[in-house]
Amino acid sequence: MSLCNKERITLALMLLLGLFLYIFFAPYYRLSNGDDPWRTSTVYDIVMRGGINYIRSFIPNMGEDNLLVGTIHAYVYGTIFNIFGWLPIVGMRISTAFFALSLLLWWQILKALNFSKAFTLSILFTMLILETYFGMASQSRTDSITFFFVTLAFFLFIRQWYLFSGFVLMLAVETHYIGITGFFYCFAYLLAYRPNIKRIAIYFTLGVAIGVALYLYLHLDAVIIGFTGTLAKSTGGSITDSNYLLAYFFRTKYFRHIPELIIFATALIVFMKQKLYKEVQGKFILIFLICTIVSTLILRRGNFHYAPFTFVALLLITMSVAERYHKIWLLNLLWLALLIPQYGYVYYKQHTYPGINAYIEMIRQEVPTDLPIFGDSRVWYAFVGREKTHHMTRLGFVYDDMEKYNYDAFYLTGYDEDTDIPMIDVVNKVSTKYDCTTISETEFYNNPVVTWKCIKR
């Protein structure tokens, strides 16, 4: 079925918004993002400094759960970082590329499931502009490549390449625990379409077994030490505190995702009332939603960054209702009306930001390198490759690990905009054991940046 003019116009507007977001807006989206140096510095340690054993010996509070996943991500991203530089923008572009590949795979998945052209393109373009996916694609975390592996595995499963599907799913799990949601994707397809279970079981299980063998090759020592505690962490905790969907809707700034929840809830009510689940595609959509929701109850990770793995199901429900009433164009327009003001406000507020490279260069000029350095999250990028440069977002230095390093002297630098802990509180804490004197004061993006030299009493 061809697109109507209203659908063409709204899809064109969504594409233009997407291009603006990923090409121009991304550098101004998260000015303060501790996740990038957290993960990128770990990638550096794995790729450049001897891998997991180095991390375990050198980083006091790097929990064993962080050593059980992420090696594939580290070598993929690390290889590209080595070519183009160890900077946030490089990690963002890598993640964006993996997300783009995921969209291409979802295009093929939706076509294979016989969804209409308008339905398929609207799903893809909505994913392109929603903050949950844009956020995933604009940082160096493992989420984007994990989502790619999950999507690829689901695509292979639908195409009946079951052995490869099982293997790729284990690549997803090795990249991050959230990759387990891929098993729920495949299970939903099984329940909805009931293909030859016996053939699937043999080849899929073999693929998973090969993937498990690779996983154990990469992580056997960490599994022996840390698996039990990690399993308890990932499946324990209360449902309300450890559910990433609840975190996304109810624990983000300004409760800005509540309108999305209202859209999804309304669509689900209409979907059930109109009994769209009695249709072949509707049956799959409902089962897919149920399975992904169940996955959030089993894998309890209270971090809103994992919302993209369930959002696909919510988008399918919403789009199926819009298509039933021939209002896909109106739903597309609704997303545009909701998102453009939000992105526009952030861009207006932050577009004068000088850029991470300017901050890095300033830190290099202001901070000497003759002593260990502790700083805000972006300080790591200024001294890539220097072993005794730590950022507080990763190490929790001030409150947890100061005694484990036991340095006789060090430099402390940063500014409040980039830390959860006010710098003056950091200095006061350190001053219980060190004498700290100011050696440099400057300003960046209207925030004071102070460097202290701290010497043990």
Higher pLDDT, 278 or 39: 278
Q: What is the pLDDT of residue 35?
A: 81
Look at residue 48 and tell me whether its pLDDT is greater than 90.
no
Angstrom CA distances, 192 to 277, 302, 314, 321, stand at: 11, 29, 17, 19
Q: What is the pLDDT of residue 10?
A: 98
Look at residue 305 and tell me whether its pLDDT is greater than 50.
yes
**d(C-alpha 74, C-alpha 96), whole Å:** 16
Per-residue confidence at 291, pLDDT binned at 50, 70, 90? very high
Q: What is the pLDDT of residue 419?
A: 54
- In this structure, what are the phi and psi dihedrals at residue 160, rounded to the nearest 5 degrees? 75, 25
Q: What is the pLDDT of residue 394?
A: 47
Residues 6+ apart with CB under 8 A from 201: none
Angle in degrees, CA 204, 285, 117, rounded to 5: 100
Buried b (16+ CB within 10 A) or exposed e, 67-101: bbbbbbbbebbbeebeeeebbbbbbbbbbbebbeb
Domain 356-456 belongs in CATH node 1.10.490: no
Which of the residue ranges 55-59, 190-194, 316-320 would you say has the lowest mean pLDDT? 55-59
Select the highest-mean-pLDDT range: 77-81, 86-90, 390-394.
77-81
**d(C-alpha 418, C-alpha 306), whole Å:** 23
Q: Which two tokens stand for residue 36?
A: 């990038």
pTM of the entire predicted model: 0.92
Q: What is the pLDDT of residue 375?
A: 82
Q: Where are the domains of the chain?
A: 26-350, 356-456
**d(C-alpha 46, C-alpha 140), whole Å:** 15
Q: What is the mean pLDDT of residues 150-169?
A: 97
Q: What is the pLDDT of residues 424-455, one digit of tens each?
A: 777 888 888 899 999 999 988 888 889 999 99
Indicate the burial class of 298 (C-beta count within 10 angstroms; 0-12, 13-18, 19 or more).
exposed
Look at residue 401 and tell me whether its pLDDT is greater than 90.
no
Q: What is the pLDDT of residues 348-380, one digit of tens each?
A: 999 888 888 898 899 999 999 899 888 877 888
Look at residue 300 and tell me whether its pLDDT is greater than 80.
no
Which of the residue ranges 271-275, 336-340, 447-451 would you say has the lowest mean pLDDT? 447-451
Which of the residue ranges 61-75, 123-137, 332-346 would you say has the lowest mean pLDDT? 61-75
Q: What is the mean pLDDT of residues 390-401?
A: 55
Mean of per-residue pLDDT scores for the chain:
87
Look at residue 61 and tell me whether its pLDDT is greater than 50.
no
Per-residue confidence at 395, pLDDT binned at 50, 70, 90? very low
Q: What is the mean pLDDT of residues 116-141?
A: 97
Q: What is the mean pLDDT of residues 14-31?
A: 93
Q: What is the pLDDT of residues 184-222, one digit of tens each?
A: 999 999 999 987 788 899 999 999 999 999 999 988 876
Q: What is the pLDDT of residue 271?
A: 98
Q: Residue 290, Cβ neighbours under 10 Å: how many?
A: 14
Look at residue 73 and tell me whether its pLDDT is greater than 70.
yes
